[in-house]
Amino acid sequence: MIRCQLLTGGTDKEKLKKIGKFLEKHTNSAPSLFEPNPDLFSLFPEKSIGILEIKKLISFLSRKPFSKDVKVVLIFEADKLTIPAQNALLKTLEEPPKDSFIFLLTDRSFAFLPTILSRVESVKIVSKQKSKSNLKQQDKVKEILKQVLNQTPGERIALSLELAKSKNDVEKLCTNLLTFLRIFLRKRLELESNDSEKNLSLIQINKMIKDVENARKMLDANVNFHLVVEDMLLNFPKLEK
């Protein structure tokens, strides 16, 4: 039986409803996810989730259920797990206690180590509300990319100043860029272009994905967010006319 899941998409409430239905199907008695319970361990990170929190989680799982048949772990914004914390969690995800279930809630599955992703079942939740919002975001990102790919280095630097109003803005930009580029790579769609533009090659798309992933790492390392955006845009290819 699957005991570890990574849930993406939808709202936290939608994720919890999905988890609740899963637990109803696979257990006789599970703790409520919407109120305090000794058999429920919830992590709500402020900035990041470190090794100390993982040690507390492992300690919780080492104990027998108090009032229910199983124990449940919920990690909200699980993408905030530091790399050391992810490594510390690996063994538990690989061999979770038989009376336990672990759920990682996130909207940034790309932030996890491949070894984490290989040890969990990925569950994608489709939210109608978020789908409409995501379509608007993808359209916006598409327009930004069309603009950048035809700009000179000087124009890209000027655009980076417009886009980087705050670190949060840059984080959202990176998230949306990764989503768009991965969809683009997967479907091999063409950018809407005029006669002076040529399609991006698979090599160029892969390189752009790596550039955005590198920007994400630089943000996590607290590099100046203005410089992060500038460096990322300057590394993007220039479409030939």
Sheet (strand 121-124) strand order = 40-43, 71-75, 100-105, 4-8, 121-124
Q: Within 10 Å of residue 144's Cβ, how many Cβ atoms? A: 18
Q: What is the pLDDT of residue 27?
A: 86
Q: What is the pLDDT of residue 203?
A: 87
> Taking the domains of the chain in order of start, what are their residue ranges?
4-126, 130-235
Within the chain, what is the greatest distance between any pair of CA atoms? 68
240 pLDDT more than 90? no
Contact between 90 and 115 under an 8 Å Cβ cutoff? The reply is: yes
214 pLDDT more than 70? yes
The predicted model gives 6-28 an average pLDDT of: 90
pTM, two decimal places: 0.60
Determine the topology of domain 4-126 in CATH: Rossmann fold (3.40.50)
The predicted model gives 48-60 an average pLDDT of: 95
pLDDT digits (tens, 9 = 90+) for 129-172: 655 666 677 788 889 998 999 999 999 999 999 998 898 889 88
Which amino acid type is present at position 103?
Answer: F
